[in-house]
């Protein structure tokens, strides 16, 4: 560790040293800078290929003259819009600087050294990082056939378990939890365990049997549903997500939430985006059409794509995923190697625009030759 060489007398808590820094998808600008490839394509961060919601852009344009003021820390107007849209009381809604921030806030509110957190593996890496940041212990539960294994998650619960993360659909596998399975799980889970249902990709789900976290807010377990404007609404760069949870949990979070964590522009954009139903429908069409094109095209190259309920999917490359990632980069296409997620031969790809999908398939064909 460099830190101990540079500052030998500095005490760094061991749980901080145990954290592997999160490696985000490579930005297009970085690829272009490093490899000198113009017109590159990024299919690595599950972003919306259509761009931002047009209604959100318009709302931001008209609010731009207000950014000399701090935002409304309680996000009154946005909370009202969402409350109406979702049919839940405003007291149950809280916003974050991306849903990332809410994952951190829940961990910081409810965990301490000695706490255990049940984490299906692989899943979104931030759960592990935020758990460790509190000196709490991640208890990993392997997926079963790429799906979250709820029985195994129950089996991992001990007296010290404080929280369980359920990512539905699960990143990076795209699998979902069905209502029946989720209800059985909740019925057996001790009521002291906080359930975090991360629904960052819920808008893309087509399976009607998929559990939706908001149906379970009145149960004995404290349960928080996390959603985001980064994916289906095209606002990843703006950083805004929200949580729906019992008001008592929201009040706890509000004790430590930074008062201005959702910016002026993020608040107005989110309020407009949630009403932009045309954009959401267009987005879903692009994703679903793109998935059927990509599954056919990749399948005809002799590779296996795993079924997904999201805007991304896994491909078994049957070769080193890190090398595939590098070779695709050299062809101007950014994908995600799943090596750090425990799948050394899988890559994760998200659906792009039709021309981006074609470029991906061409590049893939090129590296298989
Ligand atoms: N949850 C999951 C499962 C994700 O994949 C992501 C983004 N990659 C997030 C949460 C965070 O999204 P954001 O902070 O942009 O709302």
Sheet of 93-96, strand order: 93-96, 241-244, 223-228, 194-198, 161-167, 116-121, 137-142
Percent of the chain with pLDDT over 90: 92
Confidence check: pLDDT of 1 > 80: no
Name the closest-CA residue to atom 8, ligand 1: 45
Pairing of strands 116-121, 336-337: unpaired
Beta bridge partner(s), residue 116:
137, 161
* Ligand 1 mutation target, pool 25, 96, 98, 105, most atoms within 8 A of CB: 98
- Pick the range with the lowest mean pLDDT from 9-13, 105-109, 234-238, 279-283: 9-13
Task: Of 100, 106, 334, give the one whose Cα is nearest residue 230.
Answer: 100
Distance (angstroms) between ligand 1 centre and the Cα of 233 equals 13
- Pick the range with the lowest mean pLDDT from 3-12, 40-49, 314-323: 3-12
Query: pLDDT digits over 125-148, tens only?
Result: 999 999 999 999 999 999 999 999
Query: pLDDT digits over 33-67, tens only?
Result: 888 888 899 999 999 999 999 999 999 999 999 99
Residue 102's pLDDT is 98
- Tokens representing 201? 């990709």
The 3-state secondary structure of 224-257 reads EEEEECCCCCCCCCCCCEEEECCHHHHHHHHHHC
Three-state DSSP state, 119: strand
Sign of CA pseudo-dihedral 178, 97, 139, 342: positive
Distance between CA atoms of residues 219 and 153, nearest Å: 19
Judge if the upstream peptide bond of residue 249 is cis by omega within 30 degrees of 0: no
Stated length of the chain: 369
Distance (angstroms) between ligand 1 centre and the Cα of 365 equals 30
Alpha-carbon distances of 132 from 113, 114, 182, rounded to whole Å:
9, 11, 26
Place 23 in a pLDDT band, splitting at 50, 70 and 90: confident
Beta bridge partner(s), residue 246:
none
Sign of CA pseudo-dihedral 239, 234, 21, 107: positive
Query: Ligand 1: residues whose CB is within 6 Å?
Result: 46, 98-100, 124, 167, 171, 198, 200, 228, 230, 236, 241
Confidence check: pLDDT of 361 > 70: yes
For residues 12-37, average pLDDT: 88
Determine contact, residues 138/18, Cβ cutoff 8 Å.
Answer: no
- Tokens representing 312? 């991304």
Burial of 14 (0-12, 13-18, 19+ CB in 10 A): exposed
Distance (angstroms) between ligand 1 centre and the Cα of 369 equals 35
Tokens 């600087």 sit at which residue? 97
Name the closest-CA residue to atom 13, ligand 1: 98
Query: pLDDT digits over 241-282, tens only?
Result: 999 999 999 999 999 999 999 999 999 999 999 999 999 999
Three-state DSSP state, 166: strand
Residue 363's pLDDT is 96
Distance between CA atoms of residues 176 and 185, nearest Å: 14
- Tokens representing 42? 């990024």
Determine contact, residues 144/122, Cβ cutoff 8 Å.
Answer: no
Task: Of 86, 51, 52, give the one whose Cα is nearest residue 272.
Answer: 52
- First vs last Cα of the chain: how many Å apart? 41
């Amino acid at each position: 560790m460099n830190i101990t060489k540079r500052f030998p007398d500095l005490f760094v808590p061991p749980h901080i040293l145990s954290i592997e820094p999160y490696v985000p998808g490579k930005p297009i600008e970085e690829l272009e800078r490093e490899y000198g490839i113009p017109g590159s394509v990024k299919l690595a961060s599950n972003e919306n290929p259509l761009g931002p919601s047009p209604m959100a852009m318009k709302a931001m344009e008209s609010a731009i003259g207000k950014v000399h003021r701090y935002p409304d820390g309680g996000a009154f107007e946005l909370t009202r819009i969402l409350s109406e849209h979702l049919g839940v009381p405003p007291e149950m809604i809280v916003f974050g600087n991306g849903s990332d921030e809410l994952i951190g806030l829940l961990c910081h509110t409810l965990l301490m050294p000695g706490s255990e957190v049940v984490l299906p593996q692989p899943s979104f890496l931030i759960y592990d990082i935020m758990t460790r940041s509190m000196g709490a212990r991640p208890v990993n539960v392997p997926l079963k056939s790429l799906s979250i294994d709820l029985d195994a998650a129950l089996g991992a619960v001990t007296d010290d378990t404080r929280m369980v993360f359920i990512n539905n659909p699960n990143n990076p596998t795209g699998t979902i939890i069905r209502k029946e399975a989720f209800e059985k799980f909740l019925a057996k889970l001790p009521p002291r365990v906080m359930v975090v249902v991360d629904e960052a990709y819920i808008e893309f789900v087509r399976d009607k049997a998929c559990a939706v976290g908001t149906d379970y807010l009145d149960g004995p377990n404290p349960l928080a549903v996390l959603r985001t404007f980064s994916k289906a609404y095209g606002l990843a760069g703006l950083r805004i997500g929200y949580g729906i949870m019992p008001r008592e949990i929201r009040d706890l979070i509000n004790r430590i939430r930074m008062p201005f964590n959702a910016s002026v522009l993020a608040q107005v954009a989110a309020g407009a985006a949630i009403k932009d139903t045309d954009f959401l429908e267009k987005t879903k069409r692009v994703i679903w059409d793109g998935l059927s094109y990509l599954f056919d095209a990749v399948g005809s190259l002799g590779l296996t794509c795993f079924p997904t309920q999201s805007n991304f999917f896994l491909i078994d490359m049957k070769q080193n995923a890190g090398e595939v990632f590098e070779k695709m980069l050299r062809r101007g296409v950014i994908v995600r190697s799943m090596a750090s997620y425990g799948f050394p031969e899988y890559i994760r790809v998200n659906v792009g625009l039709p021309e981006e999908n074609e470029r991906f398939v061409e590049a893939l064909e090129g590296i298989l030759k």
